Amino acid sequence: MRSTTLLPAAALGLGLALGGCGASEPVPAATATPAEAGQGSTRYPLTLDNCGQTVTFDAAPQRVVSLDQGSTEILLSLGLADRVVGTASWTDPVLPALEAANADVPRLADNAPTYEVVLDTDPGFVTASFGRHYKTGGVAERARFAESGIESYLSPTDCDHGVSINGGGGKRSTPLTMDAVYVEIRELAEIFDVRDRGEQLVADLEQRRQAALATIDASDRTVAFWFADTKTPYVAGGTGAPHALAVDAGVENVFDDLRDDWTAVGWETVVERDPEFLVLGDLARDRFPGDRLADKEEFLRTDPLTATMTAVREQHYVALHGAEMNPSIRAVDGLEKLAAGLSTTGA
């Protein structure tokens, strides 16, 4: 039976219909309260508990830096492009429906920017999808941003019981679901006093998700998710966003016994588990061998060991962009593509 558990924050896509979500809801000026402006519903000062830290906003932020593509695309989808003074850490081109909104937003770095580069934009607020940006060796610890008078926010998709999964060494007590993405959308919408836009975005994504689920009948199939690296493949374990895609689709993730979102394994292990389908990361970058889809396919075909796998022999591949395999609003795109891939191969 197909699971109806809400899917993770792993990979969602905004259709063209989402490009104008909430366009009629004005974004209030930072100096105006909802009562004074006659618009919005957020009551300032607004205080939120965000992954074990308390963040407080006296008004809707006017200048925000987003350190990850996932959080950037949420902000753009909420109609907040004019507030975004810098973005970073991109794995793929921006969603087509958001190209116009993103056109004038500065990209500080394709990967992580330095703390000084972020400060040069004079932000009042910084967001991130992954806690690795907020630790030593990342962009800066949240305390350092606070010392500069800058509030910071971490996506709930990267938090479990007040500890960051990617930045604090935390472990998920329960597998990730789409609910965490919806919490992020609603909280950012509340922070910027555009709650109606947030609710509309959540509704549109969930409608698409349910439509995709209705097309899937793939029980008893097995799958592995390969993000990158031909030397030691980086595969999805049983707690993160890709695993939630598998749960929703009703297929078995052959690495669901690994209690990590992602982990490096040996090719011997992948071949031994012999998944019927391989979900391949189609990344628009060159950080590791095999980031690109064509390189992955070439490796699988020519390597004597991987060429023996069922998925390789039968060309049972589903290509997903990196953003669709990360916790983001693009998880719906990932689900739609997985559903189509299973269907065209006779699942």
Predicted confidence (pLDDT) per residue in 128-153, tens digit: 999 999 999 999 999 999 999 999 99
| β-bridge partners, 125 | 64, 151
Instruction: Note the pLDDT of residue 345.
Output: 60
Instruction: Note the pLDDT of residue 68.
Output: 97
Instruction: Note the pLDDT of residue 263.
Output: 94
Strands 234-236 and 222-228: antiparallel
Identify whether residues 140 and 234 lie together within a single domain. Answer: no
Instruction: Note the pLDDT of residue 163.
Output: 94
Q: Which two tokens stand for residue 151?
A: 């509030």
Identify whether residues 55 and 203 lie together within a single domain. Answer: yes
Tell which of 211, 243, 270 closes a domain: 211
Range of the structural domain that residue 52 is part of: 16-211
> Which residue in 311, 231, 325 sits closest to 271, CA to CA?
311
Q: What's the Cα-to-Cα distance from 161 to each of 172, 207, 237, rounded to whole Å?
A: 8, 29, 20
Count of the separate structural domains present in the chain: 2
Distance CA 72, CA 90 (A): 9
Given a cut of 80, whether residue 75 has pLDDT beyond it is yes
Given a cut of 80, whether residue 125 has pLDDT beyond it is yes
Q: What is the mean pLDDT of residues 100-114?
A: 96
Q: Which of the four pLDDT bands, split at 50, 70 and 90, describes residue 43?
A: very high
At 296 the three-state DSSP class reads helix
Given a cut of 80, whether residue 310 has pLDDT beyond it is yes
Instruction: Note the pLDDT of residue 40.
Output: 67
Instruction: Note the pLDDT of residue 219.
Output: 67
Mean pLDDT estimate for the chain: 88
Given a cut of 90, whether residue 97 has pLDDT beyond it is yes
Identify whether residues 273 and 189 lie together within a single domain. Answer: no
Identify whether residues 75 and 134 lie together within a single domain. Answer: yes
Q: What residues have CB less than 8 Å from 139, skipping those under 6 apart?
A: 67, 112, 113, 114, 115, 118, 128, 133
Identify whether residues 167 and 207 lie together within a single domain. Answer: yes
Given a cut of 50, whether residue 314 has pLDDT beyond it is yes
Identify whether residues 240 and 143 lie together within a single domain. Answer: no
Q: Cα dihedral sign for 173, 174, 175, 181?
A: negative
Q: Which two tokens stand for residue 57?
A: 């906003």
More confident residue, 318 or 287: 318
Task: Yes or no: say if 84 and 105 are a contact pair by the CB < 8 Å rule.
Answer: yes
| Percent of all residues in the chain with a pLDDT value above 70, rounded to a whole number | 87
DSSP state of 153: E
Q: Of all residues in the chain, what percent are helix, strand and coil, respectively (each to 5)?
A: 35, 15, 45
Given a cut of 60, whether residue 327 has pLDDT beyond it is yes
| β-bridge partners, 262 | 236
Q: Which of the four pLDDT bands, split at 50, 70 and 90, describes residue 218?
A: low
Distance CA 276, CA 252 (A): 10
End-to-end CA distance of the chain: 14
Instruction: Note the pLDDT of residue 332.
Output: 94
Using one digit for the tens of pLDDT, what is the confidence trace for 21-33? 333 344 444 333 3
* Angle subtended at Cα 191 by Cα 111 and Cα 176, rounded to the nearest 5 degrees: 60
More confident residue, 16 or 113: 113
Q: Residue 8, preceding bond cis, omega within 30 degrees?
A: no
Tell which of 183, 211, 239 closes a domain: 211
In which element (H, E) is residue 128 found? Answer: strand 125-128
Q: Which of the four pLDDT bands, split at 50, 70 and 90, describes residue 342?
A: confident
DSSP state of 52: T
